[in-house]
């Protein structure tokens, strides 16, 4: 764990959430579906129990805290509290939630530039650490949303969040997931992630933590070519709990294969090519 640049914890909300009914997870070719429903014990319990355990067992590991909410007030409340914890070095703001401030019309906060701006502004105004915003791919123009988030004062982006999909049980003819639909992740969404990362990199100046289907050192480098400054690994850890250290070990050989002598210089060169 100490070899990782950081660890992103799962979503934290103001109050405890029990999440969706089971089954919550389903396999799909080159990926998986999940419909966890933001299950978590609430911000006070995370601060009192979960974060101290991480600090005690991994004192040198920076924590990026994922903050979710259903109103600007909730984003501000959770961001203010969790940003004061010593081992939390940044916030990942999850704006793939419906907004109760303006009614739930089937739209997520991250799909509407004005709602995204307000949510990010609420968090940034009280947070004591940098705020990265997790972008949903389920938008007509991700660049417009990204610009609104940049204008609200975000430090950077994490992207992409999951796509929405479903699977059916042939015997019952019902969805496998109790929720009906879930977030699709894994290598199947990798090309989508590359396209959207490049689009945001071209239209904003903020750093991007790229994620979405990365399962090898080569895929990590490809995502950096698209515009990512750093890489997040998620689903690959389900198939192999040692995926992250294996990718770290694999990276020097892949860099050597493609004539990359310095990773920081490689990232800088890629971004200069994208942004001019």
Does the annotation count 270 as an active-site position? no
Known binder of ligand: residue 194? no
Known binder of ligand: residue 89? no
Known binder of ligand: residue 219? no
Choose the catalytic residue: 26, 47, 64, 97.
97
Edge-first strand order for the sheet with 31-34 is 25-28, 31-34, 182-185, 163-165
Please say whether the beta carbons of 129 and 104 come within 8 A. no
Known binder of ligand: residue 234? yes
Please say whether the beta carbons of 45 and 75 come within 8 A. no
Helix, coil or strand: residue 33: strand
Known binder of ligand: residue 246? no
Known binder of ligand: residue 5? no
Helix, coil or strand: residue 163: strand
Vertex 157: Cα angle to 151 and 163 (nearest 5): 120
Please say whether the beta carbons of 123 and 132 come within 8 A. no
Separation of alpha carbons 32 and 34, rounded Å: 7
Q: Can you read off the two tokens belonging to residue 144? A: 């417009």
Known binder of ligand: residue 162? yes
Q: Can you read off the two tokens belonging to residue 188? A: 């199947």
Q: Can you read off the two tokens belonging to residue 118? A: 């307000």
Known binder of ligand: residue 148? no
Known binder of ligand: residue 259? no
Known binder of ligand: residue 166? no
Q: Are strands 182-185 and 31-34 parallel, antiparallel or unpaired?
A: antiparallel
Known binder of ligand: residue 38? yes
Known binding positions: 10-11, 34-38, 66, 94, 134, 160-162, 186, 212-213, 234-235
* Catalytic residue IDs: 97
Known binding positions for substrate: 10, 34-38, 94, 161-162
Known binding positions for FMN: 10-11, 66, 94, 134, 160, 186, 212-213, 234-235
């Amino acid at each position: 764990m100490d070899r990782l640049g950081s660890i992103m914890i799962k979503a934290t909300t103001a109050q405890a959430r029990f999440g969706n009914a089971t089954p919550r997870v389903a396999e799909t070719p080159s990926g998986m579906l999940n419909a966890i429903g933001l299950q978590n014990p609430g911000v006070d319990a995370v601060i009192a129990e979960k974060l101290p355990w991480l600090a005690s067992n991994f004192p040198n590991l920076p924590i990026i805290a994922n903050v979710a909410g259903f109103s600007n007030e909730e984003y501000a409340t959770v961001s203010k509290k969790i940003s004061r914890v010593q081992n939390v070095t940044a916030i990942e703001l999850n704006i793939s939630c419906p907004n109760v401030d303006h009614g739930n019309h089937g739209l997520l906060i991250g799909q509407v530039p004005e709602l995204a701006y307000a949510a990010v502004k609420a968090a940034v105004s009280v947070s004591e650490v940098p705020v990265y915003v997790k972008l949903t791919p389920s938008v007509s123009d991700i660049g417009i949303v990204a610009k609104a988030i940049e204008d609200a004062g975000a430090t950077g982006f994490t992207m992409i969040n999951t796509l929405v999909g479903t699977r059916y049980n042939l015997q019952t003819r019902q969805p496998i997931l109790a929720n009906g639909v879930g977030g699709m992740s894994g290598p199947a969404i990798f090309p989508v992630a590359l396209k959207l990362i490049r689009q945001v990199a071209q239209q904003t100046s903020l750093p991007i933590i790229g994620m979405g289907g990365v399962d090898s050192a080569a895929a990590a480098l490809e995502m950096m070519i698209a515009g990512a400054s750093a890489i997040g690994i998620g689903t690959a850890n389900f198939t192999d709990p040692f995926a992250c250290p294996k990718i770290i070990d694999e990276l020097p050989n892949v860099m050597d294969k493609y004539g990359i002598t310095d990773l920081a210089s490689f990232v800088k060169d890629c971004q200069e090519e994208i942004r001019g």
